[in-house]
Amino acid sequence: MMSVLMMSAFALQTQSYTKIANIEEIKSKIVKKASETENIHSDFDQEKHMMMFNEVIKSKGVFYFSKPNKLRWEYYSPIRYIIVLDGKQVQIQDQSKVKTFDLNSNPIFKEVNKLMISSFNGDILNSKDFKVEYYQSSYDYMAKLRPLNSAMANMIETIEIYFNKTDFGVTGLKIVEVGNDYTLIKFQNRIINGKLSTHIFTL
């Protein structure tokens, strides 16, 4: 069954969060939602905050996810740029040029792919690679993850995953790098378990 979930833009960084002590019920609902989600089609807004330059780079695009391991990030503003990952390779289209890379040959893309896939299928909440704490605001739930793997901890300080309080789906991601630069992604107009063409995941 297809569920269309409309969500207006929200400022995650302005929410006030309190720590949740008893998380088992909430966690089980999040994992259940993830297990029932076969694919996602969503608009997104992205903000890259660069502290050294006091600069925010804003982008917009469309996001697709399909189990078990397919992702497509299609940026249309400020420039057209597409990244497709399928668990084995990365395809990047910059303007009209398409480049293909082996995922295993690029550790950064491999970790990003693993992170994104596990965020949407719920596996990340049970991963031994992170210490996870749960918080809530009046609007949503948030899982804050701290990497325990030294290689990832050298790059990433924390990862925050935001979940809608009504349907427990992922509505945002915030990746804070060592040095406090961070990327904030807000998902809007989410379509869950809709019809996705297989051609979406090829360039």
pLDDT per position as a tens digit, 145-194: 999 988 888 889 999 999 999 999 999 999 999 998 999 999 999 999 99
Q: Which residues contact 159 (CB under 8 A, 6 or more apart)?
A: 115, 119, 130, 144, 145, 147, 173, 174, 175, 176
Q: Tell me, what's the pLDDT at 2?
A: 39
Considering the domain delimited by 3-8+16-201, tell me its CATH architecture: Clam (2.50)
Q: Tell me, what's the pLDDT at 8?
A: 35
The candidate with the shortest Cα–Cα distance to 69, out of 84, 52, 58, is: 84
Q: Tell me, what's the pLDDT at 195?
A: 93
Per-domain residue ranges of the chain: 3-8+16-201
pTM: 0.86
Q: Tell me, what's the pLDDT at 15?
A: 67
Q: Tell me, what's the pLDDT at 14?
A: 54
Counting as low any pLDDT under 70, the low residues of the chain are 1-15
Q: Tell me, what's the pLDDT at 33?
A: 92
